[in-house]
Amino acid sequence: MAVQKSVSLKEVADKAGVSIATVSRVINSKTVVKGETELRVQKVIRQLGYRPNRVAQRLRTTSGAGKLIGLLIPDIRNPFYVDIIRGIEQYAYARNFAVIIGNFSQDEERQKFYIETLKSESVDAFIVAPFPGMNEYVKELSEEGYAVVCIDRGLPGVDLDVVKVDNFQGAFDAVEHLIKAGHTRIGHITGNRQIPTTIERVAGYEAAYARYGLTIDRDIIVGRDSDYQSGVDLAMHLLGLPDPPTALFTSNNLLTLGALETIHSRGLKIPEQVAIVGFDDMDWSMSLNPPLTAVRQSGFEIGRIAIELLHQRIADPARPFVSIVLKTELIVRSSCGYKLRGGYEVHKEN
Amino acid sequence: MAVQKSVSLKEVADKAGVSIATVSRVINSKTVVKGETELRVQKVIRQLGYRPNRVAQRLRTTSGAGKLIGLLIPDIRNPFYVDIIRGIEQYAYARNFAVIIGNFSQDEERQKFYIETLKSESVDAFIVAPFPGMNEYVKELSEEGYAVVCIDRGLPGVDLDVVKVDNFQGAFDAVEHLIKAGHTRIGHITGNRQIPTTIERVAGYEAAYARYGLTIDRDIIVGRDSDYQSGVDLAMHLLGLPDPPTALFTSNNLLTLGALETIHSRGLKIPEQVAIVGFDDMDWSMSLNPPLTAVRQSGFEIGRIAIELLHQRIADPARPFVSIVLKTELIVRSSCGYKLRGGYEVHKEN
DNA sequence: TGTAAAAATGTAAACGTTTTCAATATAGTC
DNA sequence: GACTATATTGAAAACGTTTACATTTTTACA
């Protein structure tokens, strides 16, 4: 299974009657070569179908010219991350970067393993959605000189480029919407309580309660992990309470879907018996019955900006760190009901 | 942004007082080194935290020792492919393979681009879900000596290792289930008609019709692309017919979700007004309302086996090609209704 | 103890690039 | 036509491995 050797610089050089240095120069066009020579070499390159060997390139150039990015994703089953991946991919490959994805499935061991592997692949940059227990490693990466961009959430106490959304406001909007629809007892299914994102969303929930003078019942703010099964179980818990909430605010995609399973399995009607707003909109939120009201955050956009920041940082390592916060948008569909009290307009964030 | 140089073989060798060759031997343990030396070297390796540079390894070794696999995925938004990725990842990393994912979003240009990029990354194997227009390239890959495994569908007229499911039987089961529930007019929303998978599923549909002596109306077998919007549009078309089908069989995940959007937007009740069975089960099929009856194919398992085959082929390039066909399973939930006629039992594939 | 065989280790080339430095060719000036 | 400055090219080292081959050390045996 010897893979056919591909055309090398040397072959091009020989055929064009020049040295490999000249061919290299033609390709990278940093230094000038004589017009005539350049044309001749380019012709040979085309004839032979030469493409530079990225492995050799990476081995040679230690700096940020390796054109390889490591991407650390907590859970590829979450469509939000898939959107991020798509955004990153699209703009990365347009800039001739390749991307290696490490999906660590929320497993600390595996995350560590991926970081090591990606390092030994000589990536010159990382895009990371930091997870609890990851902070040390990510910090190290930055200190070791890798370009690092955090997505979805930053690193407490560490200066890094970050792209995220306004989780506080997004959660606030969602809960406000429910309150305006007449709900006063809103259950909140949170993600992993260690994650900054979760904390900010809980804060948004509390702020909305405060804003409307409602008293918070901490017994109906529940969280375990950020996955589907947690959504199922925690919704079961909340809806089984003697005095169950009339509405649910779920802190992400997967939790929302899990909660929906429970709602349906208990035969509850949405929104009459229980209303629901989820954080994270999905391509197919309209396919749910009833269509889901959700806080949209554009993963695609997050990915795009992350690449942009990475690009800048590789070009200028000294650039000050920035934190980019995108707005969310509340997409009102019909999973909330309209037990209106007083003049009420559908809330729309701009 | 000079990335901190990591420990090299040379440093280990110097510190241990041996040559780099010996260190290399200790690591790869192909040849024997003296026990005493081995221990000393290993100690230094641990002390210095040495990890081999995979880039240099790949540059040096032309054969299948590169431990890098290229994965070509048609559409990462499809949860089925996400499952495949997870399966591949899990078993690849367990074998110390790294995986580069190329998600070409059903775009021919981009797919071509990825193949070239992955080649110049010196991957030593490809896992591909072939797409129309891709056949030539994939065939070439194999001819050039790369280990290639096709997933989801094979390549017409080309001998390669393939892992797929029994699409014919899966579709047959789905349609039979609908027929047994009393439907005689079942609309079929197919994927891209060029894809073998689609063709096999249509054949399964037709076979079920034939088996029960029903006449096929080709006007209610419609297909365009394999994406969400096609599902929306084609369902709209079918349900808008003067004599609309009473049930829908959708040929994949995304089409199912698209069709559901249309069904809900038209205010149709499932299963009373229209029943639906989808090919591809999803983690959250239970979250749909009503829970979806679906043909399950295990992407995770497909991924696992693909890696297995790859492993075998790299070890023994001469091994004959195999085609592995996995069974599907009809998961009966409640999107089909039970307009039973005569003695009827819920169909269960084993 | 000396010698041959076996075991252990070292030396150096190679993988395909980029890049520094040196060498050569060309042009410009008098 | 000779000389200098400049433009163009080439030679060779380096990146971090693996591995064929050579060399050294150890072991076995007479």
What is the tens place of the pLDDT at every residue in A281-335?
999 999 999 999 999 999 999 999 999 999 888 888 889 999 999 999 999 999 9
Give the pLDDT confidence score for residue A4 in this predicted structure: 80
B241 or A31: which carries more pLDDT confidence? B241
Q: Is the alpha carbon torsion for B131, B137, B140, B142 positive or negative?
A: negative
Give the pLDDT confidence score for residue A252 in this predicted structure: 96
Position A1 pLDDT exceeds 60 = no
Average pLDDT of chain A?
91
- Contact of A76 with chain B, judged by CB distance below 8 Å, is answered with yes
Q: What is the percent of chain B where pLDDT is above 70?
A: 95
- Average pLDDT of the segment spanning B164-178: 98
Are A261 and B117 within 8 A, CB to CB? Answer: no
- Average pLDDT of the segment spanning A272-281: 97
Name the 3-class secondary structure at A39. helix
Minimum distance, in Å, between the CA of residue B210 and any CA atom of chain A: 32
Give the pLDDT confidence score for residue A97 in this predicted structure: 85
Question: What are φ and ψ of residue A245, in 5° steps?
Answer: -65, 155
Average pLDDT of chain B?
91
Q: How far is CA B235 from the centre of its chain?
A: 25
Indicate the Cα dihedral angle A122, A127, A131, A132, nearest 10°. Answer: 70
- Contact of B61 with chain A, judged by CB distance below 8 Å, is answered with no
Are B98 and A121 within 8 A, CB to CB? Answer: yes
Farthest CA pair distance, chain A: 86
Closest alpha carbon to C1' of D16, residue? B56
Relative to beta strand A161-165, strand A323-326 is: parallel
**Calpha distance B286→A259 (Å, rounded):** 10
What is the tens place of the pLDDT at every residue in A241-250?
999 999 999 9
Q: What is the percent of chain A where pLDDT is above 90?
A: 76
CA–C1' nearest nucleotide, residue B25: D18
Q: How far is the CA of B26 from the C1' of C2 (A)?
A: 34
**Calpha distance B69→B62 (Å, rounded):** 14
- Cα separation of the two ends of chain A: 58
CA–C1' nearest nucleotide, residue B60: C15
Give the pLDDT confidence score for residue A41 in this predicted structure: 94
What is the tens place of the pLDDT at every residue in A39-84?
999 999 999 999 999 999 999 987 666 688 999 999 999 999 999 9
Q: Which residue of A has its CA nearest to B8?
A: A120
- Contact of B145 with chain A, judged by CB distance below 8 Å, is answered with yes
Residues (54-113, chain B) with CB within 7 Å of strand C atoms: 56, 59-60, 62
**CA distances to A84, A150, A294, A307 from A163, in Å:** 11, 6, 21, 10
Name the 3-class secondary structure at A294. strand
**Calpha distance B165→B340 (Å, rounded):** 29
Give me A335's structure tokens: 């999973």
Q: How far is the CA of A41 from the C1' of D12 (A)?
A: 22
Q: Is A244 exposed, middle or buried (0-12, 13-18, 19+ CB in 10 A)?
A: middle
Assessment of whether the complete model's pTM goes beyond 0.85: yes
B303 or B311: which carries more pLDDT confidence? B303
Are B116 and A283 within 8 A, CB to CB? Answer: no
Closest alpha carbon to C1' of D18, residue? B60
B28 or B83: which carries more pLDDT confidence? B83
- Contact of B200 with chain A, judged by CB distance below 8 Å, is answered with no
**Calpha distance B6→B2 (Å, rounded):** 12
CA-nearest of A226, A231, A239, A179 to A205 is A179
Give helix then strand counts, H and E, for chain B. 12, 12
Give the pLDDT confidence score for residue B344 in this predicted structure: 37
